[in-house]
Amino acid sequence: MQKLRFTWDQRGDATVLAEPPHDVLAGYLSEELQTNAPVCRRVLDTIQSLRVGRRSSWDTEGQAWSVSLNRARAAIVSEYAVPGRSLDLTLEEFEEAVGSWLRFIELSRA
């Protein structure tokens, strides 16, 4: 996703930056998924389940962000970090962002 910038912070940890309103997505990726490749893969598997009809929706509350997915949309809502901040995306945009983040963190470890 072009609105996201994957980089490393001063400590050398992978992070993602974006301007509003996509800073919500950046916050979700870096704070909720973090650099946990198995969690990223589970989210991508869930998206695939939605796409093929094995699920009609998926909702999860994380430590700082909640995500609601259905076959068409993804909604990210800040629980604690910035109360009330949210972003709605197409499911494809959300999938692209999670997949790009996964590829970045896997390359960062290589």
Whether the Cβ atoms of residue 3 and residue 18 lie closer than 8 Å to each other: yes
Whether the Cβ atoms of residue 106 and residue 6 lie closer than 8 Å to each other: no
Q: Which of 73, 71, 77 is nearest to 28 (CA)?
A: 77
Please give the tally of structural domains in the chain.
1
Residue 42: domain span: 5-108
Burial (CB count <10 Å: 0-12, 13-18, 19+), residue 110 = exposed
Q: How confident is the model at residue 63 (pLDDT cuts 50, 70, 90)?
A: confident
Could you identify the residue written with the tokens 């009330």? 84
pLDDT in tens, 24-58: 999 999 999 999 999 999 999 999 999 999 999 99
